């Protein structure tokens, strides 16, 4: 069985292929093992980039949290962290709305755990949902992704919109 530190290192190595990684990150009083940032821009222009018809920006912000296990109160704290700190600070950068041409931001929390949470917590995690629209989506929206890797069983769990992450987290474990 891979130890937690080894798993987190492998996971961060995989994420660093497309994310900027900052280790030992703190936001809203929560200390994360790491923070990952990804951005993408799509544009449509005629002849020259100066004749830009439209552009859209997409982002993902991910916190890697090291826990022995996850409880219902941890999920409540995650929601508060997203609402009170991640969206205002990372997405809006202290402004009322995100930057011009912002289309979406995924706020992802990745729990790396030693023990399996109780069934009630796993059910709540699978149903976890947080979304926020800015100016009726004119300035885009935010969507919460949540994934939990249980190192004791090698299983990963995720909320509905982040289901694609489960296989990735189990694959990283090997």
The per-residue pLDDT for range 50-70, each reduced to its tens digit, is 887 888 899 999 999 999 999
The answer to whether position 172 is within a domain reads: no
* Alpha-carbon dihedral 83, 86, 91, 92, rounded to 10 degrees: 60
Check residue 46 and give its pLDDT: 83
Q: Residue 134 gets which letter from DSSP?
A: S
pLDDT in tens, 114-138: 999 999 999 999 999 999 999 888 8
Check residue 129 and give its pLDDT: 97
Maximum C-alpha span of the chain: 58
The answer to whether position 104 is within a domain reads: yes
Yes or no: say if 81 and 28 are a contact pair by the CB < 8 Å rule: yes
Range(s) of the domain holding residue 78: 4-162
Residue 77: both structure tokens together:
């704290």
The answer to whether position 131 is within a domain reads: yes
Say how far apart CA 8 and CA 23 lie, in whole Å.
11
Average pLDDT over residues 128-153: 95
The answer to whether position 45 is within a domain reads: yes
The answer to whether position 174 is within a domain reads: no
Average pLDDT over residues 164-173: 95
Residue 10 main-chain phi, psi, to 5 deg: -65, -40
Yes or no: say if 130 and 94 are a contact pair by the CB < 8 Å rule: no
Check residue 1 and give its pLDDT: 61
Check residue 168 and give its pLDDT: 97
Lowest mean pLDDT among 39-53, 109-123, 133-147: 39-53
The answer to whether position 96 is within a domain reads: yes
Cα angle value 159/61/7 (rounded, 5°): 70
Average pLDDT over residues 153-158: 97
pLDDT in tens, 88-107: 999 999 999 999 989 999 99
Say how far apart CA 143 and CA 161 lie, in whole Å.
8
Helix (H, G, I), strand (E, B) or coil at 154: coil
Total domains present in the chain: 1
Cα angle value 37/39/141 (rounded, 5°): 95
The answer to whether position 84 is within a domain reads: yes
Check residue 55 and give its pLDDT: 86
pLDDT in tens, 8-36: 999 999 999 999 999 999 999 999 999 99
Answer whether 0.85 is exceeded by the pTM. Answer: yes
């Amino acid at each position: 069985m891979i130890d937690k530190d080894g798993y987190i290192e492998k996971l961060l190595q995989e994420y660093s292929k497309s994310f900027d990684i900052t280790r030992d990150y703190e936001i809203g009083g929560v200390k994360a093992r790491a923070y990952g940032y990804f951005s993408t821009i799509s544009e449509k222009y005629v002849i020259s980039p100066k004749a830009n018809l439209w552009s859209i920006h997409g982002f993902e912000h991910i916190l890697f949290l090291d826990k022995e296990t996850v409880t219902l109160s941890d999920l409540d704290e995650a929601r508060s962290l997203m609402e009170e700190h991640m969206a205002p600070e990372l997405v809006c950068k202290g402004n009322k709305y995100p930057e011009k041409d912002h289309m979406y931001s995924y706020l992802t929390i990745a729990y790396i755990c030693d023990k399996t949470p109780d069934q009630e917590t796993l059910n709540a995690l699978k149903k976890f949902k947080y979304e926020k629209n800015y100016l009726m989506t004119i300035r885009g929206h935010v969507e919460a992704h949540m994934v939990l890797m249980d190192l004791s069983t090698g299983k990963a769990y995720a909320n509905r919109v982040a289901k694609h992450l489960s296989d990735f987290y189990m694959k990283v474990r090997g």
